[in-house]
Amino acid sequence: MNNLTLKIGFSIFLFLLILASGVWLAKTGRPLNSKIFAVHKIISILTIVLTAIFITQMTKTFGINQQSITFIVLTLVFLILEIITGVFLSFEKPINSIFLYLHKIFPFLIFIFLSLVVNLLAF
């Protein structure tokens, strides 16, 4: 198993941990459990930082093309929207149920576009 495979696998593992901690947080109900919420945020930040480092290393190793840039930008847009919806959901009283729906959809869009980026860069 090469270094790239380990990095991709570790990013996927962290991504799944984010989803699991989010489900766990949702199951605890309101008010949000601050310890689980902290774990969810820490895993999210760690995943974002490490994945950004991995993608940066991949662009230096394999080069980058216009399609990769487009998918990276789309991934970042969905990531920012995911963080914003998470902020709105963390309020004592969530503002609107649409934020919950979007917060459930954006991770899958992020995963899809990030997979496309990795595929375009590495293969």
Q: Is 1 helix (H, G, I), strand (E, B) or coil?
A: coil
Handedness of CA 73, 120, 49, 53 (dihedral sign): negative
CB atoms within 10 A of CB 92: 7
Amino acid at 78: F
- Condensed to tens digits (0 to 9), the pLDDT of residues 94-122 reads 677 899 899 999 999 999 999 999 999 88
Q: How many domains does the chain have?
A: 1
Distance CA 60, CA 114 (A): 17
Q: Do 120 and 67 form a contact (C-beta atoms < 8 A)? A: yes
- Look at residue 82 and tell me whether its pLDDT is greater than 90: yes
Q: Which domain holds residue 66?
A: 3-122
The pTM for the full model equals 0.87
Mean pLDDT calculated for residue range 15-44 = 93
CB atoms within 10 A of CB 118: 21
Question: Tokens standing for 84?
Answer: 């914003």
Mean pLDDT calculated for residue range 73-81 = 95
Cis geometry, peptide bond prior to residue 31 (ω within 30 degrees of 0): yes
Distance CA 99, CA 86 (A): 8
